Structure 1
Amino acid sequence: MTPRHLALAIGLAAVWGVNFVVMQVGLRHFPPLLYAGLRFALAGYPALLLVGRPQVPWRWVAGVAAAIGVGQFGLLLMGMRAGMPAGLTSLVLQAQVVFTVIFAVLLLGERLTARRATGLAVAFAGLALVAFDFGLSGPAGAFALCVAAAAAWGLGNVIQRKAAPPDSLRFMVWVSALSAPPLLALSLLVEGPPRLAVPAEGWLSLAYVAFVSTLGGFGVWGYLLRRYDASTVAPYTLLVPVFGLSSAALLTGEPLSWPKLAAGALIVAGVLYAGSRPRSRGHASLSPAPSALRTPAPRP
């Protein structure tokens, strides 16, 4: 990568990492399902005027909207509202890689190699350490909701990989547009009539997650993928929990315990190991990740 593109990749990871703290701020003023619905409405509907059709069959757009827009973000925000800290949430969501591989094996018939299984076992050990550490002081239900959100994300990744959209930004605009109505309907059913008279802080949070994180983030992501292989760009998304944990510690005072740091190291190391190929002919090489690990970027 050129220095400019490297800065873009790291900056994108920072934007998506800080996003967890921003969402935590927004949840002080909006119930979770309403917050998710408004996010996707703001990100999707204005942008529909600027993009064409999604260039893939509608069933794939609807599938990703159901799995990621409604499933992942609905569960994620409910988990955060129930007590899951922002930084820890950014780390737990990396379990989506484990679920992506599981769903790819079950639904697409992909082969689970010994190396990939070992890497995922290491990542799962990190997740178990998070569960143990958080379970001593935090609500188990909130943790379970975030793990379920990671599972929904993994399913959405497999659907999106099957769809193979040629333009990730255009695809996410349509996914956002299709995600908003069911989320807003669920909010009305579960959370009651919306109350939109909230402080400016709440609306600024929504503006950040809709325009900076979603539209701006996927604009940069698509720009980088048009110039580099996915295996070159994707590893930088592993910096998302680094920025998520550090920003939560700096901005909200969320503690960085040794178990949390050790869990983060296990999860990142496991994912990297699972996505690499063994040394061959005396040379170390990191090849493109296996297809099940070539997942879309995190959508925090």
Structure 2
Amino acid sequence: MSRYRNLVLFLSLAAIWGTSFVAISAGLEHFPPVLFAALRYDIAGVIMLAYAAYAVDDWRPRGRDEWGLVVVGAVLLIAAYHAFLFIGQQNTTAAAAAIVVSLSPVLTTGFARLLVPADALSRVGVVGLLVGLLGVGVIAQPDPSDLLATEVIATLLVFCAAASFALGSVLTRSIDATLPIETMEAWSMLGGALLMHALSFGLGEPLEPSAWTNPEALGALGYLALLASALGFLLYFDLLERLGAVEINMVSYVAPVFAAVVGWLYLGEGIDTTTIVGFGLIAIGFVLVKRQALRDAFGNARGRAE
């Protein structure tokens, strides 16, 4: 029974996070990108902080290490990740953005090995990292005569989002702090939202008043803040405890399927052959980099099933 429950929650999380890319594309028709991301986490941060205050004893950070953890989360996991993603997704499809973001687990391993030289990638792991990066190149389809084409820059910005999240994941694990993940996420969301508001102000992003009365705009904002962020992270916390980090990373490779289908149905976005090939290369890269961890994780899962 527990196995089926985990499967349902896993698919629910993949669906929520996959369709969040569609909600981003829809909302970008009405909101400027960085302000849109900031508003999302204004709402989600307050909800997560209320949940942290209810669910855990240490609902606020204490001391330099815990605040350092929050700062890294706010800067890299929330502000940099979402600013790059939302700006980049103005000129790419929801499916393509979801696929490039799925490179994050591969980049996380790469950053971990880079920052801890004693734990270097094996030759197969290096090949996996290069294959994943090749997948991004296939999706971007750079023209040597026009490397600054809008679509290429958009894909590179989304890649920067994935790299920011991967680096933030490694750095937060390297900080010696025992802050509950719910508390860390809540304060990082609020801090990241504040940073994005400052960036939005610096960029002079305009906001049309009509956005506040547009059903699609408000629906996209509500979906991202309430479902993709608040509910999505709660599902993630639950599954992380039940499945472990390796298996939960597989969400990144199911989410693009939902992004592609819903993007096609709701936004009329197509998905071309090169995007599919790029996704396949990124997935192969993940398997190569995580091959031993995947073997161990699914071996344990098989043992529990028996």
Aligned length: 282
Computed over aligned residues only, the root mean square deviation of the Cα atoms, in angstroms, reads 2.5
User: What is the aligned counterpart of 2:140 among 117, 131, 147?
Assistant: 131
Deviations 1:266-291 (A, max 9, x none): 1112202210129xxxxxx71249xx
Relative to structure 1, the CA distance from residue 151 to residue 50 in structure 2 (aligned partners, 3 Å threshold; closer, same or farther) is: closer
Query: Counterpart of 2:49?
Result: 48
Q: Secondary structure at the match of 1:28?
A: coil
Deviation (angstroms), 1:245 = 2.1
Query: Counterpart of 1:222?
Result: 237
Deviation (angstroms), 1:14 = 0.9
Deviations 1:180-239 (A, max 9, x none): 111111112212464454112212211111110111011011112222332333323321
Distance 1:47 1:274 in 2: 33
Q: Does 1:253 align with 2:278?
A: no
Question: Does the aligned pair in 1 maintain the 2:73–2:184 contact within 8 Å?
Answer: no
Deviation (angstroms), 1:126 = 1.5
Q: Secondary structure at the match of 1:57?
A: helix
Question: Does the aligned pair in 1 maintain the 2:93–2:269 contact within 8 Å?
Answer: yes
- The runs of 5 or more residues in structure 1 that have no matched partner are 279-284, 290-300
Deviations 1:156-201 (A, max 9, x none): 1112322476643332111101111111111122124644541122
Distance 1:246 1:166 in 2: 38
Q: Does 1:238 align with 2:238?
A: no
Which is worse superposed, 259-268 or 249-258? 249-258
Relative to structure 1, the CA distance from residue 245 to residue 112 in structure 2 (aligned partners, 3 Å threshold; closer, same or farther) is: same
Q: Residue type of the partner of 1:26?
A: G
Identity of aligned residues (%): 28
Which is worse superposed, 188-197 or 201-210? 188-197
Q: Secondary structure at the match of 1:45?
A: helix
Q: Secondary structure at the match of 2:242?
A: coil
Q: Secondary structure at the match of 1:287?
A: helix
User: What is the aligned counterpart of 2:113 among 102, 105, 124?
Assistant: 105
Query: Counterpart of 1:146?
Result: 158
Question: Does the aligned pair in 2 maintain the 1:120–1:270 contact within 8 Å?
Answer: yes
User: What is the aligned counterpart of 1:57 among 59, 66, 69?
Assistant: 66
Relative to structure 1, the CA distance from residue 191 to residue 271 in structure 2 (aligned partners, 3 Å threshold; closer, same or farther) is: same
Question: Does the aligned pair in 1 maintain the 2:19–2:259 contact within 8 Å?
Answer: yes
Distance 2:272 2:205 in 1: 38
Deviations 1:228-257 (A, max 9, x none): 332333323321122222222222222222
Relative to structure 1, the CA distance from residue 106 to residue 25 in structure 2 (aligned partners, 3 Å threshold; closer, same or farther) is: same
User: What is the aligned counterpart of 2:181 among 168, 179, 182?
Assistant: 168
Relative to structure 1, the CA distance from residue 85 to residue 22 in structure 2 (aligned partners, 3 Å threshold; closer, same or farther) is: same
Q: Does 1:263 align with 2:293?
A: no
Q: Does 1:79 align with 2:79?
A: no
Q: Residue type of the partner of 2:60?
A: R
Q: Does 1:116 align with 2:125?
A: yes
Q: Secondary structure at the match of 1:158?
A: helix
Which is worse superposed, 180-189 or 124-133? 124-133
Q: TM-score, normalised by structure 2?
A: 0.83
Higher helix share: 2
Distance 2:178 2:85 in 1: 25
Question: Does the aligned pair in 1 maintain the 2:15–2:255 contact within 8 Å?
Answer: yes
Q: TM-score, normalised by structure 1?
A: 0.85
Q: Residue type of the partner of 1:118?
A: V
Distance 1:85 1:114 in 2: 33
Q: Secondary structure at the match of 1:2?
A: helix
Distance 2:161 2:292 in 1: 29
Relative to structure 1, the CA distance from residue 53 to residue 119 in structure 2 (aligned partners, 3 Å threshold; closer, same or farther) is: same
